[in-house]
Structure 1
Amino acid sequence: MSHTLLAAIFAIGAALCIAVGTVVRQRTAAVVPDDSIGALGPITTLVHRPVWWLGTVVGFAGYALQASALGLGSLLLVQPLLVLSLLFALPLGARFSGRRISAREWLWAAALTTSVAVLVIVGDPRPGEPRAETHHWIVISAIGLPFIALCLFGAHRRTGSARALLLGLAGGTLFGVAAVLTKGVVHLVSLGPHAVLTSFEFYALIVVAAVATSLQQSAFQAGDLQASLPATTIMEPVVASLLGFVVLGEYLDADRKVAAVLVLALAAMAAATVALARGAANDDAIAAPRTPVG
């Protein structure tokens, strides 16, 4: 079995685990009242809930599969496949909310599946370097940190949809950066424990992943999942794929004619992702209404 095919299988498995873990954690976070939020956000309350831990463990399993996929394939291959988590979340969310999946949602699901297949098969993603250089991380930090800071500043001053959107954008961006760091750490694992423990990527990954997870939970708790879930789901593959292309030198093996098809597929994937994420958010709003404060 080729490394590309194995990477695709691991990525699809990761998407399934991510779907289950996300739905469980969304439903748990959505009912946390504002007066129960601690200094670290809603996580201070959620860690006392066994159901949240179940979703977290499944999510970690998804991350392990994602890391395995990134060790074998490029970011341009793995990250679009992870968007299929929304496809898996569709029937799960519908079952929890006690409703049937509409014909419109099935059409969006078909569009998502087709667009991802076109990007992966027709685009034929080619790998680049396994790790980013130090000067790359300096540039990424110089651009990324102010963007994250602006999102957090805006979220602190907003409520409802605007707050959820800004936190979702910040969390999704950091998850995209974490994907690049993960690819580097997986490469270092093959060189031995000393290479991992003395690397910048290993410690940066721990910090970035922890902050991204906290921001994601805060976005879920903000109440409007129709804003936070699409933002997080779109930003992660966009940021990771962009960094894979610009920083690691990954590319799609396509001529100009095929490139036009890939652009259309990318637009279709983005539209389908937003539509399905909003549907998943509606399911959670129905099944897990917010607990009133006061």
Structure 2
Amino acid sequence: MAKAEIAALLALGAALFIAIGDVIHQRSAHEVTDETVSHLELFGRLLRDRRWWSGSLVAAVGFALQAAALGLGSVLLVQALLVTSLLFALPINARVSRRRVTRWEWLWAALLAAAVAVIVTVGNPTEGHSRASLETWTAVVLVLGPMLVVCVLVANVVTGPASAVLLGFVSGALWGVFAVLTKGVVDRLDDGLWALSRTPELYVWALVAIGGTAYQQASFRAGSLTASLPTMTVAEPVVGSVLGIVVLGEAMRPGDAGWFTLIVAVAVMVVATAALARGEAVTASAKAPA
């Protein structure tokens, strides 16, 4: 079996475990307290919540599988397949919420699966480098950093759906950065723990993971999940894929005849992902305590 095929299987396994973790985290973020609390206080309360930790342990298995997948395949391939976590979250959340999956949800799920299949096969994503230079990452920070800071500052001023969208984008973008950093961290594992401990990406990677988790929970609490979840779900693969191309030099090679098909597939993936995430968020909001 080729490395790309193994990476695809590992990415699908990661999507399953991350989906289970997300379902648990969504419920915990709304049930941990009825009070209005700050982002920091919310994260602190969740750290004392057993259900949240169970979701985190399950998600950690998913992140480990994601790291293994990134060690064998490109960020473009892995991030495209991780979007299928929504396909797993759909029946899981329906089961937990004791509801039936609607026909429209199954239709969007089928379209999402088809779009991902087209992107992986027609797009023919190829690997680039595992790590990037300090100059390249400095440029990323100078471009992405101010954007995320502005989102956080504005989110503290506005309320409701607008705040949830902004915080959701911050979380999704950080998880996209996390995926790219993960590839560099995994690459250094072959050189031993001492070499890994001297790798700057390791410490940035840990901080980005904490930030992504904190803003994810804050986004869930800021307003309706119909605003936060679709934003996060779309932002992560988009930011991760763009960084995979810009930072690591990865590429899509669909050929001249395949570019139109690829563009259509990406558009369908984004729309279907947002539609499914919105459906999951509506259910979670309905189940959340008033």
Same fold, judged at TM 0.5 (above):
yes
Shift of 1:194: 2.1
RMSD: 1.3
In structure 1, how many angstroms separate the alpha carbons of the residues matched to 2:46 and 2:199?
32
| Counterpart mapping for 1:177-188 below 5 A | 177-188=177-188
Shift of 1:37: 3.1
Shift of 1:286: 2.1
SS of match in other structure, 1:281:
helix
In structure 2, how many angstroms separate the alpha carbons of the residues matched to 1:46 and 1:204?
23
Q: Once the two structures are aligned, what percentage of the paired residues are identical?
A: 47
Residue number in structure 1 paired with 2:129: 129
In structure 1, how many angstroms separate the alpha carbons of the residues matched to 2:224 and 2:49?
21
| Counterpart mapping for 1:1-294 below 5 A | 1-33=1-33, 35=35, 37=37, 40-290=40-290
Shift of 1:38: 5.6
SS of match in other structure, 2:19:
helix
Retained in 1: the 8 A contact 2:196–2:202? yes
In structure 2, how many angstroms separate the alpha carbons of the residues matched to 1:199 and 1:79?
23
Retained in 2: the 8 A contact 1:167–1:219? yes
Query: Which sections of structure 1, spanning at least 5 residues, go unmatched?
Result: none
Shift of 1:47: 1.8
Retained in 1: the 8 A contact 2:130–2:183? yes
In structure 2, how many angstroms separate the alpha carbons of the residues matched to 1:119 and 1:254?
9
The number of residue pairs the alignment matches comes to 290
Q: TM-score, normalised by structure 1?
A: 0.96
In structure 1, how many angstroms separate the alpha carbons of the residues matched to 2:164 and 2:32?
14
Match of 2:275, as an amino acid? A
Match of 1:145, as an amino acid? G
In structure 2, how many angstroms separate the alpha carbons of the residues matched to 1:146 and 1:124?
33
Match of 1:109, as an amino acid? A
Q: TM-score, normalised by structure 2?
A: 0.97
Query: Which sections of structure 2, spanning at least 5 residues, go unmatched?
Result: none
In structure 1, how many angstroms separate the alpha carbons of the residues matched to 2:213 and 2:267?
27
